Chain A
């Protein structure tokens, strides 16, 4: 009981994730800055931002639904943290596991996006509402390729449980090479989920000011930012667990270091994407996702099915 509580609240749960999220945000910002030939912020900048936001006054629009307005950031953080508990980190066993947990993780990762939409909707501000609608429109575009991309390794492993998938790829590490296309599709779709360039359309500041978070301030905004940081770590961890399944049978400490390195590699790729593209328009984004990303994900699923027939018998 105490161990479970410790896992949920401290390690690898809330506290660890918050700290790691903050570090990930710093690394992302620093890399982004270095790609742009800037110095970037000092290491404590994300923490300083967080503390600053906590100290600020919270303003709730008069016409907004105050209860929803306050509760949504908590939902976002909770959903992202819960998703992390099902992901195997430094060995093939995750904290909690059951057949079908990969679907639950994907579902839990969709929740923050939905809270962003609701946050914008309940703010009753024009910019926030347009941002909210864009969030939802975008969700329908990237979610399908993302699901197909992440589920195709599961097809090859013949299991809907993350634990079983990692165990399968741990036994046959070279099979991971067949999933490169799915990995590419997922990394691109994750950019949409995390609302980063080129898919940062919902919070494009030159168009809709702050997007869904326009009316948010103080600790509520801080929580939302924390939720996005945690979401980034969870997404990276999910990609690492599904697509980069090596180094899991070693000593736990070494495996943990390898796990961190994998996350950093994925964050590096995401920062690189963020700095080399311009922001797409929402119609171009939806077009791109359905025209190129979804067929690519389908192709990956097809590859998985064929390989399953040949290799796993």
Chain B
């Protein structure tokens, strides 16, 4: 077999979401790779500008199905900063509890997916079974398994009762017990280590240069974590370790994630024990005063950044979301250099990608297979929309001036 070009995606069993990896192969070796994202662009940022802040919370929660609390909290931190709202301590604690539970459920989910990608389905079945425990806790606390709708401007919507705390603590113990078992599996199972170690190597320098974030960066020895470096919510009150690893490979990323699980259990216990009494929200104005803010949040997949610009109305003027996958997806090509076809699924999965969170750009899909790049630039896109409105809605928008900065 000579050189062949094989498409992994947009539709492929290894991918849970559409993304395209066009790979040139020489036998089983990877020679070249073209990454394309953008198949899942939903225009959420634009939609945010047309809705009120309250509506935006629920919309942004749906940026990602796994880390939904991440996006709503990150957005609200920015909004609350602009509105100069001082949140009650209990609200911060409740947000942090849900955030850490979300991290637990995300990492357990990832562990299962990683197992499936290397053909270790038993790990998938085990870790997803245990993940049900944390899903139950979340649904008990918030009423939902995903998309918790816990947040509101100025606090949270649901309180936690002492009974619930009593129910949660033993469940966390069970989870901790199971996680210890997974740490043992990840560090002792021979075939699993064969498949994970020395695969998808990303050196410390490359991680720095390519701007990797979260567990991907920490597994390359980068000691970064927003929870410690720039504490938000209740993280300043907590004592926890930032897990780093020097394996630089997929095994390192696995160890960092299972290590973080153990830290999360520690944090959840501290939070539940020390949660202060008091109100869970402050009254927030419907209209937010003009201003802008940038908010950082350590999502399970890495640093999530939201930028919000308010103009004094009840709708934001601009919302910008930078999901952690955008920071990490650049590193995939570097990880796969000189790799094998068989490693592609696990290396891609190891950054815990969420392409629908990431997709922010418009790419013409028409020539996706012909290798001819066909981006629509801003001018063409504007002209296209003017023509479209003229033709379909009978509105002439060509007279509208756009500001210089575009």
Give the interface of A toward B (CB within 8 A).
35-38, 126-127, 129-130, 133, 197-198, 200-201, 204-209, 275-284
Contacts and interface: CB of A to CB of B under 8 A. Distances in A.
Contact of B341 (A129, A130, A279, A284): A130
Contacts of A129: 1, 4
B116 A206 contact: yes
Given A129-B1, A130-B341, A279 B6 contact: no
Contacts of B116: 206
A206 B119 contact: yes
Given A36-B126, A282-B340, 4 more contacts: A126-B6, A205-B13, A278-B118, A283-B28
A207 B344 contact: yes
Given A126-B4, A206-B14, A207-B14, A281 B343 contact: yes
B10 interface: no
Interface of chain B: mostly helix, strand, loop or mixed: helix
Nearest to A287: B194
Interface string B309-342: 0000000000000000000000000000000111
A280 B194 contact: yes
A197 B119 contact: yes
Interface of chain A: mostly helix, strand, loop or mixed: helix
A205 B121 CA distance: 12
Contact of B192 (A200, A207, A278): A278
B115 A278 contact: yes
The 10 A-B pairs with the shortest beta carbon distances in the complex, nearest first, are A279-B119, A278-B120, A36-B125, A206-B14, A278-B191, A206-B345, A281-B342, A277-B191, A278-B118, A278-B192
Contacts of B4: 126, 129-130
Interface of B: 1, 4, 6-7, 12-14, 25, 27-28, 115-123, 125-126, 129, 189, 191-192, 194-195, 340-345
A205 B192 CA distance: 17
A198 B194 CA distance: 12
Contacts of A37: 125-126, 129
A269 B1 CA distance: 36
Contact of B191 (A35, A201, A280, A282): A280
A278 B341 contact: no
B145 to A, nearest CB: 20
A206 B25 CA distance: 17
B342 A204 contact: yes
A282 B342 contact: yes
A197 B120 CA distance: 8
A36 B195 contact: no
A64 B121 CA distance: 33
A35 B125 CA distance: 10
Contacts of A201: 342
A207 B191 contact: no
B340 A209 contact: no
21 contacts: A36-B125, A36-B126, A37-B129, A38-B125, A127-B6, A129-B4, A130-B4, A130-B341, A133-B1, A201-B342, A204-B119, A206-B13, A206-B119, A277-B120, A278-B123, A279-B120, A279-B195, A280-B195, A281-B195, A281-B340, A284-B194
A68 to B, nearest CB: 19
Which of A35, A127, A278 has its CB near the most chain B CB atoms (within 10 A)?
A278
A130 B25 CA distance: 10
Which of B1, B7, B341 has its CB near the most chain A CB atoms (within 10 A)?
B341
Nearest to B192: A278
Which of B115, B120, B123 has its CB near the most chain A CB atoms (within 10 A)?
B120
A278 B28 contact: no
B13 A278 contact: no
A281 B186 CA distance: 17
Contacts of B14: 205-207
Contact of A130 (B6, B122, B189, B194): B6
Contacts of A36: 121-122, 125-126
A283 B117 CA distance: 17
Contacts of B341: 130, 207-208
A35 B121 CA distance: 11
Which of B120, B126, B129, B194 has its CB near the most chain A CB atoms (within 10 A)?
B194
Contact of A206 (B7, B27, B117, B340): B117
B347 to A, nearest CB: 12
A213 B191 CA distance: 26
A303 to B, nearest CB: 26
B191 A198 contact: yes
Nearest to B346: A206
B189 A278 contact: yes
Contacts of A38: 125
Contacts of A206: 13-14, 116-117, 119, 345
A280 B346 CA distance: 12
Contacts of B122: 35-36, 275-276
Nearest to B343: A281
A207 B344 CA distance: 7
Contacts of B126: 36-37
Nearest to B12: A209
Contacts of A205: 13-14
Contacts of A280: 191, 194-195
Nearest to B6: A126
Contacts of B117: 206
Contacts of B189: 278
A99 B25 CA distance: 47
A206 to B, nearest CB: 4
Given A130-B6, A277-B191, A282 B28 contact: yes
A37 B131 CA distance: 14
